[in-house]
Amino acid sequence: MRKTITKILATTLGFAPLMVFAQSCPKWGPYLTAQFSDNTATADLLMDDVMIPANGNTQYTYTCAIQFGLGKSGGYCGLQNNNPTGEMVRPLNNIFSVWDYPNKIQIEAIYKDQQTFIGGFGNEGTGLHSHADFGWIPGSWYTQVVRRWYNGGDRTEVGYFIYDHRKKQWRHYVTFAVPEADAKLKPGISSFLENFADNTKHSRISYYKSYWMLTSDGNWEKPDTLMADAGEGYWNAEEYQKDGIKLTSCGPENIKRNKIEFPVTSSDRRPDNIESVHIYDLGAYYDKQKKQVYVNWSIDQANAPQLSYEVALYDNRVGEGDPLAIAKGTDPDLRSVLLNVDRLSTEAKTYFVILKLKDIFNQKGEEKVFALHDMKP
């Protein structure tokens, strides 16, 4: 009788049973694909910008900025929160990894930032992994760049660079050498927002914009369309500015949503944060016993990173005629060279070291000249 009265009262007063929705995440994705009009062009560089807002930053989240194809394999890079709880137990990190190649020859790490860790990975394929706990900040934008180059032989080098918009600085985190001659980046960029170990399925948010491809012919291409998709479960995609998307993954309901496409309406013809490489300082001295000129330089981190260099020694300031010695190559991190020379008369005349740099965006920086002569006491 008591149960019957309670049921009648609840119905009379308009109370509804309490509905509790479990958090739901999509079975896969959400993925974002930047679709370019020319899907046959190969590329030397891929880039985009990512930002994780404070209200969308949660444990065990990977914001993949660029998933790329490189020759017969490929890889991915982006920002990760690898903390087991909502507290920041360790600084927030980046990831750059490349899957093994069909020939099973080991991928090599030929450069790493002092903060970068290198190791293998498994589970979703195998390959070489890197990460750096550089402490990205929620709410700040980070430009992600994947750049390949070829120095001859049977392998290709691929580097990972980030521009920190808060610090206004570029940083080179790692370079891998992959076992394929002159491997090109494939057209198209994929991104995704992953919950890789959060059983409580917290909601997570990432912003993506400014997708660009620098083709092997040296042309800048931006996508025509950004397409978002995911499996069954809570997710959403919203247009952001004229060339971006806000992705949300995991939420209070289980839904089925079709692909969502957004046209890229930006009129930009090239990225807006790529000021050409700038030589900050240049110096040299002549070792008379070894008959070598030691040259060293530094670059401004606010400008685009170095890709290649040319150092030449002349007997005139304007670089007319054949150089007395020259060294050149492709290496983003080289900052010094030795020039082998015949005996120089530095006590009687002045020689000139001329440095020319090209950056990862194929831009030539302003050359710098250093006058080499005996110093007077």
Confidence of residue 376 (pLDDT cuts 50, 70, 90): low
Sheet strands side by side (includes 116-121): 116-121, 127-132, 93-99, 73-81, 61-70, 189-195, 31-35, 225-229, 260-263
pLDDT tens track for 185-199: 999 999 999 999 999
Residues 44 and 150 in one domain: yes
Q: What's the mean pLDDT in 302-317?
A: 98
Residues 46 and 106 in one domain: yes
Residues 68 and 152 in one domain: yes
Among 103-107, 197-201, 261-265, 319-323, name the one with the lowest average pLDDT.
197-201
Domain count, the chain: 2
pLDDT of residue 351: 97
pLDDT of residue 374: 80
In a domain, residue 140? The reply is yes
Q: What's the mean pLDDT in 65-76?
A: 98
pLDDT of residue 178: 98
Residues 258 and 172 in one domain: yes
Whether the per-residue pLDDT at 313 is higher than 60: the answer is: yes
Among 89-93, 103-107, 144-148, 332-336, name the one with the lowest average pLDDT.
89-93
Residues 230 and 315 in one domain: no
Residues 65 and 205 in one domain: yes
% of residues, the chain, pLDDT over 90? 85
pTM summary value: 0.92
Residues 242 and 302 in one domain: no
Cα distances from 239 to residues 11, 49, 358, in angstroms, run 44, 15, 35
In DSSP terms, 88 is beta-bridged to none
The per-type count for the chain, helices as H runs and strands as E runs, is 1, 25
DSSP label of 234: S
pLDDT tens track for 100-134: 999 999 999 999 999 999 999 988 789 999 999 99
Residues 246 and 342 in one domain: no
In a domain, residue 319? The reply is yes
Whether the per-residue pLDDT at 4 is higher than 50: the answer is: no
pLDDT tens track for 206-260: 999 999 999 999 999 999 999 999 999 999 999 999 999 999 999 998 888 999 9
Cβ 31 vs Cβ 191: under 8 Å: yes
Residues 94 and 129 in one domain: yes
Which residues contact residue 72 at a Cβ distance below 8 angstroms, ignoring those fewer than 6 apart? 101, 102, 180, 183
Q: For 266-274, which contacts have Cβ atoms below 8 Å and span 24 or more sequence positions? A: 266/222, 266/241, 266/242, 268/222, 268/243, 269/220, 270/212, 270/220, 271/47, 271/143, 271/210, 271/212, 271/220, 271/361, 272/210, 273/143, 273/163, 273/165, 274/304, 274/359, 274/361, 274/363
Residues 227 and 327 in one domain: no
DSSP 25-52: --SS--EEEEE-S-SS--EEEEEEEEE-
pLDDT of residue 42: 97
In a domain, residue 254? The reply is yes
Q: What's the mean pLDDT in 26-33?
A: 96
pLDDT of residue 6: 41
The residue segments making up the domain with residue 285 are 279-372
Cα separation, 32 vs 209, whole angstroms: 11
Pairing mode, strands 189-195 and 93-99:
unpaired
DSSP, collapsed to helix, strand or coil, labels residue 76 as: strand
Beta strands in 271-345, from DSSP E residues, in sequence order: 279-287, 292-299, 306-314, 325-330, 336-340
Q: What is the mean pLDDT of the chain?
A: 93
Whether the per-residue pLDDT at 156 is higher than 90: the answer is: yes
Beta strands in 52-92, from DSSP E residues, in sequence order: 61-70, 73-81
In a domain, residue 20? The reply is no
In a domain, residue 103? The reply is yes
In a domain, residue 347? The reply is yes
Residues 89 and 229 in one domain: yes
Residues 206 and 352 in one domain: no
Confidence of residue 335 (pLDDT cuts 50, 70, 90): very high
Cα separation, 37 vs 25, whole angstroms: 32
CATH of the domain at 303: 2.60.40.2550
Cβ 49 vs Cβ 143: under 8 Å: yes
pLDDT of residue 122: 85
Cα separation, 37 vs 136, whole angstroms: 33
